[in-house]
Amino acid sequence: MPSSALRNVALIAHVDHGKTTLVDAMLHAAGVFADHEHPVERIMDSNDQERERGITILAKAASIQWNGTKINLVDTPGHADFGGEVERALMLVDGVLLLVDAAEGPMPQTRYVLSKALERHLPAVVVINKVDRSDARTAEVIDEIYELFFDLEAADHHIEFPIFSAIAREGRAIEGIGTPTATDTLAPILDAIVATIPEPMGDSDAPLQALVTNLDASDYLGRLAIGRVMRGTMRAGERVALIQGPDTPPTMKKIGSLMGFENLDREDVAERRAGDLFVVSGFPEVGIGDTFSDSDTLEPLPRLQVDEPVLRMTFGVNTSPLAGTEGQFVTSRQIRDRLEREVLGNVSIRIGDTSAPEVIEVAGRGELQLGVLIESMRREGFELQVSRPEVIVKEIDGAVHEPVEKVTVDVPDEYVGAVTQVVSPRKGRIAELRPGETGRSIITFIAPSRGLIGLRSLLLTITRGTAMVHQRNDGWIPWVGELPHRQGGAMVADRKGQSTGFALDNLQKRGELFLGPGVDVYEGMIVGEASRPETMTVNPTKGKQLTNIRTHSTDDAIKLKPPRDVSLEIAMEWIAEDELVEVTPQSIRVRKRLLTDSERKRAKKA
């Protein structure tokens, strides 16, 4: 297929503005599915966590045929924590489809992903989605999009973009401002992609240059390299050079299998020409950013550059008395190997050594990204213990600076006061408060990244799950000092055993419990949060004395309050510096670093 019959386009947008839904609709419009097929919604979100969280985590590609042109569609994440995926996806394409919600307008992540696209000088097709919302304000949103392009100092030719109004979930769109009718389809958008997005550049007859932007694995083929042919032609069975860096000699090998994207599948092909996306096997040592080159010329491409991590935490071997009872992978070697595999496929994660060989430092773009990694590991059968995330600081002009973020919270009007009360102690500064037209308001504030750890789960709690929270890095500020943490101290078990209703009935008068009766506990495990700030050593296994004395007070039925649901994200934010989160495939437990009371007292004296 000549390159003129090929288009590579990425869908970029803020979270929940409809990227994955639009991809579904495009696949239907291009006839990828037969009439009798009824695929699940958000078919590109194939990862379990993507479906559960309702977000895209990994960039993925599919292809469609439209009027003789093959269009490669790359779906990208909307969260800033997965910005590395966005940057890699943009290396594969020659233009972008920018989606904006007709009511919300451009949001923080819209600015972020668009800025990355403009850095690569990619032309855009703009789609105003959800124009059927009762609070849609399409004309105003278009003006805001133009303002955003001007703010990002886009070139004149980038501002001359086609605009479409769409209802992605119904697969309908029209050019310009308006509401699509029942007979409209996505044909105008697909036609605009062919007309607006340029054909891939590159001479198919020149020496080979191909960039690896992603990795995958196959039970039969081993590690797979995914990327784009920038120049030349890649042929199955041909001998090529893999260039990994200036300090590593090139690896000369024959290409094993060569595949391309066809609809939602990968199919074996004989060759991939300049502009095509490829999937290659036969190179177990390949990494993201490597170059496949002609074996005679050995010309590497510039390596991928991504934003630096802002949060770090430690991953270590589970050392609790219950270690090894629930997980399959429990050794430091297994944890390190898993993290090294993650780094190979995730350019925005960094790992490093600590003073303890069984503990590894892991740095990432945000709390959500690190939480997704930990959750993936526990689902794969790993046991580990992790510390509280802390920000990565740097020195500027002789003073310590910490990262700061801009946060946008979309909440019902009645919760605006509750949100501002939560933000203020975390050193947050309200930058904008924009009342909506349907009983919702948008609050924008700037706060140090440190103060945002655990904020997402807290806001969802106080707003009964109605808040939408989006954040992005906004530079550096001087260290703001100590920030408030939790109000109460830890209720720490003083022995091993099973929790009893009798003991918990007494303990719930002194704080809030994290567990119910019949749960295995051990010395040093935290079973609740005390109402006072001091650490409290308790016995959650105490049973009722079996005597023949009967009184009204002792014979009352035990009534336990429901324990607090401690999820992974809540536990990561709640723990203090001397505490850890124990993560297993079946349980999330909170514990002290030093399990015995005598060890903690000695450490405090020291």
Asked whether residue 58 carries a pLDDT value surpassing 70, the answer given is no
Residues of the chain within CATH 2.40.30.10 domain(s) are: 209-293
What is the per-residue pLDDT across 528-555, written as a single tens digit (0 to 9) for each? 999 988 899 999 998 877 665 555 555 4
Say if CB 495 and CB 539 are below 8 A apart: yes
Tell which residue, 66, 58, 69, has the closest CA to residue 19. 58
pLDDT score of 346 more than 80 = no
Phi-psi region of 373 (alpha: psi -120 to 50; beta: other; left: phi over 0): alpha
- Which of residues 344 and 224 earns the better pLDDT score? 224
Q: Which CATH number fits domain 490-605: 3.40.50.300, 3.40.50.10950, 2.40.50.250, 2.160.20.60?
A: 2.40.50.250
Task: Tell whether the model's pLDDT for residue 42 goes beyond 50.
Answer: no
Mean pLDDT, the chain, rounded, equals 84
Lowest mean pLDDT among 235-244, 337-346, 497-506, 562-571: 337-346
For residue 56, pLDDT beyond 70: no
Quick check: 45 pLDDT over 60?
no
pLDDT, mean of residues 280-298: 87
Q: What is the pLDDT of residue 225?
A: 86
Identify the pLDDT of residue 515.
Answer: 92
C-alpha 199/C-alpha 8 separation (Å) is 8
* pLDDT tens-digit series, residues 190-232: 999 999 999 988 888 899 999 988 877 776 787 788 889 999 9
Residue 89 or residue 189, greater confidence: 189
Confidence of residue 317 (pLDDT cuts 50, 70, 90): very high
pLDDT, one tens digit per residue, over 352-390 is 999 888 999 999 877 878 888 998 899 999 999 999 998
Strands 69-75 and 6-13: parallel
Query: Looking at residue 592, what is its pLDDT?
Result: 94
Q: Residue 46: what pLDDT?
A: 44
pLDDT band (50, 70, 90) for residue 344: confident
Q: Please tell me the predicted confidence (pLDDT) of residue 332.
A: 93
DSSP tag of 270? S
Distance (Å, rounded) from C-alpha 450 to C-alpha 295?
Answer: 49
Cα separations (Å) of 523 from 319, 415, 495, 588? Answer: 12, 40, 4, 16
Please give the CATH architecture assigned to the domain spanning 209-293.
Beta Barrel (2.40)
pLDDT at 57: 41
* Residue 179 exposed, middle or buried by CB count within 10 Å (0-12, 13-18, 19+): middle
pLDDT score at 26:
85
pLDDT for res 67: 87
Find the helix or strand (DSSP H, E) in which 450 lies: none
Q: List 509's β-bridge partners, or say none.
A: none
Q: Is the pLDDT of residue 437 over 70?
A: no
| Segment 428-434 mean pLDDT | 87
Say if residue 433's pLDDT is above 90: no
Confidence of residue 314 (pLDDT cuts 50, 70, 90): very high
C-alpha span between 56 and 73 (Å, rounded): 15
Residues 35-57, mean pLDDT to the nearest whole number: 44
Mean pLDDT confidence for 228-251:
89
Percent of the chain with pLDDT over 90: 30
Q: Dump strand ranges (E) for 76-185.
A: 95-101, 124-129, 163-167, 172-175
Least confident of 177-181, 454-458, 587-591: 454-458
**Quick one: average pLDDT of 330-343?**
90
Residues of the chain with CATH 3.30.70.240: 394-478
Q: In whole angstroms, give the CA distance from residue 394 to residue 380.
A: 35
Beta carbons of 77 and 10 less than 8 angstroms apart: no
At position 387, the amino acid (one-letter code) is S
Residue 39 is predicted with a pLDDT of: 47
Question: What would the pLDDT profile of 77-86 be if each residue is shown by its tens digit?
Answer: 644 544 456 7
Global model pTM greater than 0.85: no
Task: Please give the residue that has the higher pLDDT: either 89 or 186.
Answer: 186
394-478 under CATH 3.30.200.20, yes or no: no
- What percent of the chain clears pLDDT 70, i.e. is strictly above it? 89
CB of 164 closer than 8 Å to CB of 173:
yes
The band of 507, judged by pLDDT with boundaries at 50, 70 and 90, is very high
Cα separation, 424 vs 218, whole angstroms: 49
Contact between 362 and 309 under an 8 Å Cβ cutoff? The reply is no
* In the predicted structure, residue 330 carries a pLDDT above the cut 90: yes
- The residues, ordered by sequence, that sit 6+ positions from 559 with a Cβ below 8 Å of its Cβ are 505
Highest averaged pLDDT of the listed ranges 29-38, 88-97, 361-370, 382-391: 382-391
Domain with CATH 3.40.50.300 in the chain: 3-196
Give the contacts of 492 (CB within 8 A, at least 6 positions apart): 524, 525, 526, 527, 535, 536, 537, 538, 592, 597
pLDDT at 53: 46
Query: Where does the pLDDT of residue 248 fall: very low under 50, low under 70, confident under 90, or very high at 90 and above?
Result: confident
Q: Per-residue confidence at 47, pLDDT binned at 50, 70, 90?
A: very low
Contact in structure between 572 and 588 (CB atoms under 8 Å): no
Q: How far apart are CA 156 and CA 149, in angstroms?
A: 10
Q: Give me the CATH topology for the region 3-196.
A: Rossmann fold (3.40.50)
Across residues 145-157, what is the average pLDDT? Answer: 87
Tokens of 1: 């297929």
